[in-house]
Structure 1
Amino acid sequence: RMALVTLAVLGLSAAGAFALYGWVFENYPDAVASPQAWHPQPVDYVALASAAVLALIGAAFAGLQLARRIVLPLASLSGAARAIADGDLSARAAAGDRSLPETADLVDDFNLMAQRLETLAADMTTWNASIAHELRTPVTIVKGRLQAAADGVLPLDREMILTLLKPVDALGRLIEDLRVVSLADSGRLQLRLTPQDLGERLEDVRALVGAEAEAEGYPITWTTPSTPVVCDGDRIQQAVLALLENVRRHADPGPVAVSVTVDDRFAIITVEDSGPGLPDAMTQSVFTAFKHGSDDTGGTGLGLAVVRAIAEAHGGSAHYGAATGLGSRVEIRLPLVS
């Protein structure tokens, strides 16, 4: 752009000098030196001065325009940066007429950074409120029962202790889920990767929850062929248990299917339930922490976020879709052994 401005000024100067000499040749031919004369004549000085003035005016005009296009966006960016530093994360810079791509790109990158900061701050506020809400319920239960026992209203017997263990266990699961999601989001979730057979690992899960799930009205069909992968077996079991707990909390009683299949690149663990599934508006955020599928089931909203975190830590992914009929289908994809 600066090269174009320079060429334009030079062209204007040359055109002005050409026009001046043409006028002199036409009206005062004797004022012009002969071609053999080496010393400039007065008319030459006038031509040079006129060309210099024209060039100076053109350069000043072009410089002012260029400076305005550079300075205005940078001034807007500086003001937005000061506003963000003062706590106004909604401040944005204006790119002006975008005639300078470099300045416009700088402003766009700044605005993108500011948008991400604002989103992170809003997410942090939501997280803090959600964590406080989820912790409050079990703590309130434990505190109320202990206070009743201290006042002699309820006996502190074995039955009471077993009752108090349930909210304490819920607190433990909540803290572990928060730990997994936080470590995964920061890229610090450590895995103990060893050769594993997914079929055997899911059979262990079956032994843990199969009978209890059937007693609650969720008979599970297991299709778990031998499938070698390199993974953290305990974390994979944790993810599958989280999926089955999600089914128990949010799905209607009915058949559940757990299966392992493979394609060219991945081993796929699939859990399908009998419905009612999720509204279309929730399918894009189903793996986001503290997103609840319903308001009356008592979940923490962390189960599927944990599933996603564990899958992605293995270099895989988690996917939600509609199952056959009205149910939900969640897949965990893990890279196959190369």
Structure 2
Amino acid sequence: MRAARALGRRIAVRTALVILGVLGLSAAGAFALYGWVFENYPDAVASPQAWRPQSVDYVALASAAVVALIGATVAGLQLARRLVMPLASLSGAARAIADGDLSARALAGDRSFSETADLVDDFNLMAARLETLAADMTTWNASIAHELRTPVTIVKGRLQAAADGVLPLDREMILTLLKPVDALGRLIEDLRVVSLADSGRLQLRLTPQDLAQRLDDVRALVGAEAEAEGYPITWTTPATVVVCDGDRIQQAVLALIDNVRRHADPGPVLVSLTADERFAVIAVEDSGPGLPDAMTQSVFTAFKHGSGENGGTGLGLAAVRAIAEAHGGSAHYLTGARLGSRIEICLPAVLQVRFQITHAAMDLSKIEAVPNPGMTTPY
């Protein structure tokens, strides 16, 4: 505030000096004009002796100067207050944020000057986003620590029991230990995908891929296990070729199925693949109960979904969206025909070939990728 008061005084002094300068120039200009008239048109006006200033004229001139100075000082201080107060508030809020108080905000004052008011509003918007980012980072750190701790604790406990001779370290034990290790690997990869996508550095290996074959690989990985847990999956996957990163697409579908096994009620699951000349859509639909309306807007936001008693962070769904958007597509949450959750991955058909021949007769290496610009999402 000391700097603000000093700036206000400087504005007031300079305003007063301007007023004095204007008065001085006016007086000098008047005398110069009168002198020119007296010299060139002596008969047009009274004698110069009659125009000579008297003491009363000097008093009136001095009084006018004093009144002008007072008015200029008051106007300058008012101008300084309206201009300086938002800037001083902005400076104080910036220092507070630099010291770690992300809740600090600047005041725009009476908004007499729209430029300074807009500056304060933009600063407050930036501060709000910084505060949200810091809060999200804290949540991320806590959630990641929790998710990493769970499989590590399971593995450590089993290995400790095996080391103490309580449990045998046989094939069944090793298979049991592989499950939390696999979960840990998927969590790390999902976190990596989301982080790379947020920084704009998620790279894809785009090649012609038969999505049906990729989904068959997913079925071989999780189909039997999901059915054993009460989630029999029906696969409707006609042969469809698009240019995409097949590994990333598999990762996204695995994340959707894992999300069903974590949060949906046991029941039939439908995995479908549909396509036309513009889009290929992979959909995973469960048997319910679906999500409350309040959660549907944040379903693809990391650590905003799935924090209930069934575990999970929503990180897998965030990775699904990141993968879809990296392909130039999108991910959407819908209500399925059985009132369950239906999540769709929409991929733009940069190249898409539908065929009715067997996979063995298909030579994907001979397919040439052709860009398809100007594409818009169907949603």
**TM superposition score category, shorter chain reference:** 0.7 to 0.9
Q: Which amino acid aligns with 2:333?
A: Y
1:150 to 163, 183, 194: 163
Match of 1:3 in 2: none
Match of 2:327 among 314, 322, 325: 314
Name the SS for the 1:285 alignment partner: coil
**1:221 offset after TM fit, Å?**
3.4
Match of 2:290 among 277, 290, 295: 277
Q: Give the structure 1 partner of residue 73 of structure 2.
A: 60
Give runs of aligned pairs for residues 76-95 of structure 1, distance below 5 A: 76-95=89-108
Pairwise CA distance, 1:228: 4.2
- Note the alpha carbon deviations across 1:95-134, whole angstroms, 9 max, x for none: 1011111101111111111111111111111111111111
- The SS at the match of 1:75 is helix
Asked whether the 8 Å contact 1:174–1:300 carries over to 2, the reply is no
TM-score, normalising length: structure 1 = 0.81
**1:34 to 1:210, Cα distance in 2 relative to 1, 3 A:** farther
Deviation per CA, 1:235-269, whole angstroms, max 9, x where unpaired? 01111111112112211222322233347854322
- 1:161-194 Cα offsets, whole Å, 9 max, x none, are 2222222222111111111111111111111122
CA distance in 2, matches of 1:226, 1:167: 33
Q: Which residue of the partner structure matches residue 115 of structure 1?
A: 128
Asked if the contact 2:306/2:313 (under 8 Å) is kept, the reply is no
Q: Percent identity?
A: 85
Q: Which residue matches 2:344? A: 331
Q: 1:50 to 1:197 in 2, by over 3 A?
A: farther
CA contact (8 A) 1:266 1:333 kept: yes
> Which residue identity lines up with residue 99 of structure 1 in the other structure?
S
Distance in 1 of aligned mates of 2:127 and 2:85: 19
**How many residues get paired?**
312
Unaligned runs of 5+ in 1: 1-5, 18-32
Structure 2 gaps of 5+ residues are 1-14, 27-41, 351-371, 373-379
Q: Secondary structure at the match of 1:274?
A: coil
Distance 1:38 1:301 in 2: 97
Shift of 1:93: 0.6
User: How far off its partner does 1:278 sit?
Assistant: 0.7
Pair 1:227–1:98, CA change in 2 (3 A): farther
The yes-or-no answer on 1:253 pairing with 2:266 is: yes
**TM-score normalised by structure 2 residue count:** 0.73
- Distance change (3 Å), C-alpha of 1:257 and 1:156: closer
SS of alignment partner, residue 221 of structure 1: strand
Q: Tell me if the contact between 2:262 and 2:310 (Cα under 8 Å) persists in the aligned partners.
A: yes
**Cα 1:141/1:222, change in 2 over 3 Å:** closer
Q: Is 1:286 the equivalent of 2:299? A: yes
* 1:310 Cα deviation from its structure 2 partner: 0.8
Q: Aligned partners of 1:306, 1:94: CA distance in 2, in Å?
A: 39
Equivalent-residue separation in structure 1 for 2:215 and 2:46 (angstroms):
103
Give RMSD over aligned pairs. Answer: 3.1
Following the alignment from structure 2 to structure 1, what is the Cα–Cα distance between the partners of residues 279 and 80?
56
CA pair 38-205 structure 1, distance change in 2 beyond 3 A: farther
1:42 corresponds in structure 2 to: 53
CA distance in 2, matches of 1:53, 1:168: 86
